[in-house]
Amino acid sequence: MRCSTIANERRIELVNALSLADRFVAVGCFTEIIQWHKRVFIPANEKAPSILVAVI
């Protein structure tokens, strides 16, 4: 896990998580393709704490 700034927006990124991307999306994460690489993020909103608990 790391904090990333994408398009001037702070995000929580799950690094090396592509093998589990479908499971993470099912609990509320989202994916984006940036420079031809799929990346997994936890949304920075009021649901972030519960999604973070599900991920951990």
Q: What is the pLDDT of residues 15-37, one digit of tens each?
A: 998 899 999 999 999 999 999 99
Q: Which amino acid is at 5?
A: T
Mean pLDDT of the region 32-43 = 93
pLDDT at site 25: 94
Distances (CA, A) of 47 to 9, 11, 44: 17, 13, 8
Residue-number span of the structural domain to which 32 is assigned:
2-55
Query: What average pLDDT is seen over the chain?
Result: 91
pLDDT over 90 at 39, yes or no = yes
pLDDT at site 6: 87
A 10 A CB-CB count for 16 gives 7
- Domains held by the chain: number: 1
